[in-house]
Structure 1
Amino acid sequence: MRSNAHNLRRIAFRIARTIGFGYLAIVVMFAYFQRALMYPALQVERLAAQAVDHEFDSLSDVTQETSDGLTLHGWHAKPSRPEGASESDPQRRAILFFHGNGGHRGHRLWEYHLFAKFGWETIVFDYRGYGENAGSPSEDGLVADAKAAWKYATEVAGLKPSNIVLFGESLGGGVAIRLAADLFEAKTPPAALVVRSTFRTMTDAAVHRFPWLPVRLLLLDRYESIGLAQQIECPVLVFHGDRDTVIPIDHARDLFDSFPEESDSGVPRQFVLLDGADHNNYADVAGVEFQRELKAFLDKVISTEERDP
C-alpha cells in the first residue's frame, strides 16, 4: 500500500512538472514572439497606385521619412474637386487614416472611396514592416510613423491641422489616439478623431485574447489609450460592433466614457453601436449606418470649423 501511494505521488509529481514546464515554455514563447502576434504584418514588393482600380480623381504614391530615418510608403487619394478649386484651396479636407494590425493599406479601399464620396481626401501610410516598408513594428515605431504621416499631411500636402480628421481602426485607433494627444500637447490639434473597433488599452485586449497567460507582466507595447483620452478635446466619434469577438464592447464604452463629454468647440462626444457587426465585417453588416453616421459627423465638423475658424 505504501509503495502504491509512493508511486502515485511520483506520477502526480511528474505530471505536474511536465505541465509546469510546458506552461513555462508557452510563456517564454509568448514573451519572445509577442510582437509577431501583435503585428502580423503583410509585406509586398510594391503597392503602386497606378495598379489600383479606383474611382478617385487621383491616387498618388507618396513617401515620408520618419524621425529615425525610415522611408514610409503610402497613398494620397483625392476626390473630384469643384470647378475652379486648386491645390491651395483652404477648404481642402483630409482623413489621415491608420489601419489595423492585419494586411496593408491596399485592403481598405472601401473606406477611402467612402471618404472621397463625402468630398474628403485620404492620406494613408503603411506602418514600418508593412507593405513595402522596412523596419520592425513596435509601439514607439508606430508613434514615430504616425508623426511622419502628420508631417506629410501638414507640410508636404499643405493641409491645415484644423482640416484634418484622424481615423483609426482597431490597432490604428490606439495609434490615432496617441497622435491626437501628442498634437494637443503641441498646440496643433486635428479637426476631429474617429475610432472604430479599438481597445481601451492593448494590455486589456491581450488579456481578453490570452486570459491564461501573465500578459500584464510580459507585454511590451501597451497602447494606454484610455489614459490619453481626456487630453483630446476635439470632436470624437467612436464606432464599435455589438458582436465584436476580438475587442469586447465594454472596451469601447469605457474608452468613450474617458473622452471629454464635449469638445472645446461644444460638440458632444458620440458613440455609435454597429448592430450585428463583429470586428471586421461592419461594412457588410452595418455599412449603411456607418456611412450615415460618419457623414453626419464630418458635416458637423465642417460646420463647426466654419463657425469658429
Structure 2
Amino acid sequence: MGTATSSMAAKFAFFPPNPPSYSVSVDKTTGKMRISEVDEREDVDVDVLKLSTKKGNDIVALYVKNPSASLTVLYSHGNAADIGQMYHVFTELSVRLNVNLMGYDYSGYGHSTGKPSEQDTYADIEAAYKCLEETYGVKEEDIILYGQSIGSGPAIEIGTRLPYLRAIILHSPILSGLRVMYPMKKTFWFDIYKNIDKISLVDCPVLVIHGTEDEIVDVSHGKQLWELCKEKYEPLWLRGGNHCNLELYPEYLTHLRKFISAIEKLPRPRNVSKQSTDPLELPANTTDHNKQKPRANTDHREKARASTGQREKYWLSTDSREKSRTSIDKREKLRRSIDRPTKARNSTDNHPERARNSFDRFGDMVRSVGLCNVDCMKQTAAEV
C-alpha cells in the first residue's frame, strides 16, 4: 500500500530540473567540493556537502556560513528547482537576514541520488537537520525551518517532531498534494504532504507568506494553515504576488527581517532534558502514523515553553511589538485582520521608493536566475 501511494504521488508531485542546473567538482587546491556553473561570492563562505539519508541516498547540500549569525535557517526549496538555481537566493538571504543557512536537494533532484518521493523528502530533511547538529553544532532551539511550496511538506513534518524548534517560515505552502488540484474537505489515504492535518501539532511560532494571485497554490492554502497554527505570527499576504515572484517584493525581505529580529529577542526554548530516543526516529509510515503517541514522550515540552514567559503575548503585529507584550487582547485583532485587503502589509500598491531601491539587487538576482519553483501538479493531473 505504501509503495503504491509513493508511486502515485510521484506522478503528481515531483519535477526535478532535467538536466540539473549545476555540477559538483572538487577543488584540487583545498580538496573541498564546489558547485559549478554558479558565480561564487567572495564575501560568503559556503560548504558543499554530500549527506547520506536513512533511505540509502546521497543528497547534495549547501551550508552558507554567517560569522555574526545566532540563528540557522534550514531551507526546503520548491518544486522544479535545485540548489544550483537556489544558490544565489541562499547566499543573499544569509547576508540580508544575518543567519546561517542550509539548503539541500531532495533525492532525485540535482546531483542527489535516488528517486523523489514523499518519504524520501522526509529522510532528506532529517539528514540535513542531523548534519547541522553533528557537523556544525547547531542546537535545535536555534533552528528556523523554511518550507517553500512543496517544501512545506518536509518542513512541517519534521517540525512536528522537534519540540524546541525556534520557528517555521512557510512560503506559498500547500494544504496537501491533492488539495492543490481539488478543493477537498476530506483527507484521503493516498494524499501526500498532509500539512492540514499536521500544522496544529507544531508548537513553535509560524510565519506564513503567500501571494494573493497565486495561480498554482491558491492563497486560501496559506490562510487556512495560518488559522490552524498554535502560535501565529503576523502573516504576509502579498497583493498581486503569484507563485514564483514573492522574493521580488520589498515587503518580503522587510517582513522576514522583522520576524528574524523578533525571534532573536525571544527567550530561547530551553532544551533541558533530551529524550532518550531520537525524536526524528519514527515509524516509516510517518504520513499516517498516530502522532499523539510519540508526542506523549514530550509532555515536558509545555513546561519548557511556558518558561519563555512572554511568548504567548508576543505573536501580534510587528509594528506594535512593545505594546503587544503587555496586551494579549490584540492577538484577536490580528486574527480578524487576516482578510482585510486594506491592511498596509497586505498591499504592494504604495511601495516607498527608498525601500524598493534597497531591494533592487535582490530582485534583480532572482530575475537573473529565472527562478520559478512551480508545483506542476495541476497540469500533470490533467494529463494523467
TM-score if structure 2 supplies the norm length?
0.61
Structure with larger Rg = 1
Q: Which amino acid letter does the alignment assign opposite residue 206 of structure 1?
A: M
In structure 2, what is the equivalent of residue 126 of structure 1?
A: 105
Residues 196, 238 of structure 1: 8 Å contact kept = yes
SS of aligned partner of 1:301: helix
Residue 225 (1) aligns with residue 195 (2): yes
Residues of 1 paired with 2:143 and 2:7: CA distance? Answer: 38
Residues 64, 90 of structure 2: 8 Å contact kept = no
Residues 108-155 of structure 1: per-residue CA shift (max 9 Å, x gap): 222431232221111111000001011111111111111111101111
Residue 258 (1) aligns with residue 236 (2): no
Gaps of 5+ in 1: 1-30, 83-90, 263-267
Q: Which structure dedicates a bigger proportion of its chain to helix? A: 1
In structure 1, what is the equivalent of residue 78 of structure 2?
A: 100
In structure 2, what is the equivalent of residue 46 of structure 1?
A: 23
Q: CA deviation at 1:34?
A: 5.2
Residues of 2 paired with 1:206 and 1:237: CA distance? Answer: 24
Q: CA deviation at 1:107?
A: 1.6
Higher relative contact order (CA 8 A, sep 6+): 2
In structure 1, what is the equivalent of residue 52 of structure 2?
A: 65
**Aligned-pair Cα RMSD in Å:** 2.5
Residue 200 (1) aligns with residue 175 (2): yes
Residues 172-219 of structure 1: per-residue CA shift (max 9 Å, x gap): 0111011101223xxxx32110010011111211326xx9xxx977x8
In structure 2, what is the equivalent of residue 271 of structure 1?
A: 235
Q: Which amino acid letter does the alignment assign opposite residue 73 of structure 1?
A: V
Residues 61, 73 of structure 1: 8 Å contact kept = yes
Residues 30-70 of structure 1: per-residue CA shift (max 9 Å, x gap): x9775244101125372453533233421111121111221
In structure 1, what is the equivalent of residue 347 of structure 2?
A: none
Q: How many residue pairs end up in the alignment?
A: 252
Q: CA deviation at 1:156?
A: 1.2
Gaps of 5+ in 2: 1-5, 26-33, 270-307, 310-384
Residues 47, 106 of structure 1: 8 Å contact kept = no
In structure 2, what is the equivalent of residue 234 of structure 1?
A: 204
Identity across the alignment (%): 24
Residues of 2 paired with 1:230 and 1:105: CA distance? Answer: 30
Residues of 2 paired with 1:111 and 1:158: CA distance? Answer: 20
Residues of 1 paired with 2:102 and 2:210: CA distance? Answer: 23
SS of aligned partner of 1:276: coil
TM-score if structure 1 supplies the norm length?
0.75
